[in-house]
Amino acid sequence: MMTHLLVLVRHGESEWNKLNLFTGWKDPDLTEKGVEEAKRAGKLLKEAGHHFDIAYTSDLTRAQHTLRLILAGLGQSNLETIRDQRLNERDYGDLSGLNKDDARKRWGEDQVLIWRRSYDVPPPGGESLKDTAVRVLPYYEAEIWPKLKSGKKVIVAAHGNSLRALIMQLEGLSGEEIIKRELATGAPIVYELDDAGKVVSRRDLVA
């Protein structure tokens, strides 16, 4: 059986991750630690013998920077790369730029937890994970899956929630199951998919 290689990577630590801020569609770059995480991801992928035919990333700097560092580590800096805002992080709306502790003081711990960890309740002016899936999944089906099915090896560098939306579909998880899935920064997830797009194997590359 022919399988199709898809690698997903959450961006390395960003400046706002470090400051405990809701980031969403805001555009901070990587911290020094984030740069090292991205370089390590490239090293792990190289050691595992992976190379790619096409790359996808979001419209945000932290994901693009992560991808550039990974591809440099693989000796594939000139790889065709598609950037699209449909792979952007979930939009946190009015929470964007706020310290998470300050948000809890303003709206209450229970309410902020609902916004962060429910599948279909968006924060004010923002997106729920369900809303994020509404833009991510059609993009995957229309743009990324056809490349995979044609035999191309694909890497996607994006964000915790845009990747959660995709993982939910790939692994057949419910909304309740996917919101509990933590994705480490700069940690490649290697999938082999069958011709129907179902997961044959999953491997987390860790140092």
Other residues' Cβ atoms within 10 Å of the Cβ of residue 93: 16
Out of 13, 37, 89, 127, the active site residue is 89
Q: Tell whether the model's pLDDT for residue 159 goes beyond 90.
A: yes
Q: Tell whether the model's pLDDT for residue 70 goes beyond 80.
A: yes
Query: Do residues 163 and 133 lie in contact, with contact meaning Cβ atoms separated by under 8 Å?
Result: no
Out of 4, 11, 50, 159, the active site residue is 11
* 3-state secondary structure (DSSP) of residue 7: strand
pLDDT on residue 2: 85
Q: How far is CA 55 from CA 14, 111, 124, 178, 205, in A?
A: 21, 37, 33, 24, 18
Q: Which helix (H) or strand (E) holds 9?
A: strand 4-10
13 annotated active-site: no
Q: Tell whether the model's pLDDT for residue 68 goes beyond 80.
A: yes
| Residue 36: inside a domain | yes
pLDDT in tens, 99-143: 999 999 999 999 999 999 899 999 999 999 999 999 999 999 999
Mean pLDDT of 61-86: 98
Q: For the chain, how many structural domains are there in total?
A: 1
Q: How far is CA 196 from CA 50, 71, 91, 192, in A?
A: 22, 28, 31, 11
127 annotated active-site: no
Band of pLDDT at residue 50, cut at 50, 70 and 90: very high
The terminus-to-terminus CA distance of the chain in angstroms comes to 30
pLDDT on residue 21: 96
| Residue 6: inside a domain | no
pLDDT on residue 44: 98
Query: Do residues 56 and 142 lie in contact, with contact meaning Cβ atoms separated by under 8 Å?
Result: no
Where in the sequence is the domain holding 109, given as residue range(s)? 11-204
| Residue 99: inside a domain | yes
Q: What percent of the chain lies above the pLDDT cut of 90?
A: 96
Q: What is the CATH number of the domain that holds 138?
A: 3.40.50.1240
pLDDT on residue 41: 98
| Residue 3: inside a domain | no
| Residue 4: inside a domain | no
| Residue 66: inside a domain | yes
pLDDT on residue 1: 73
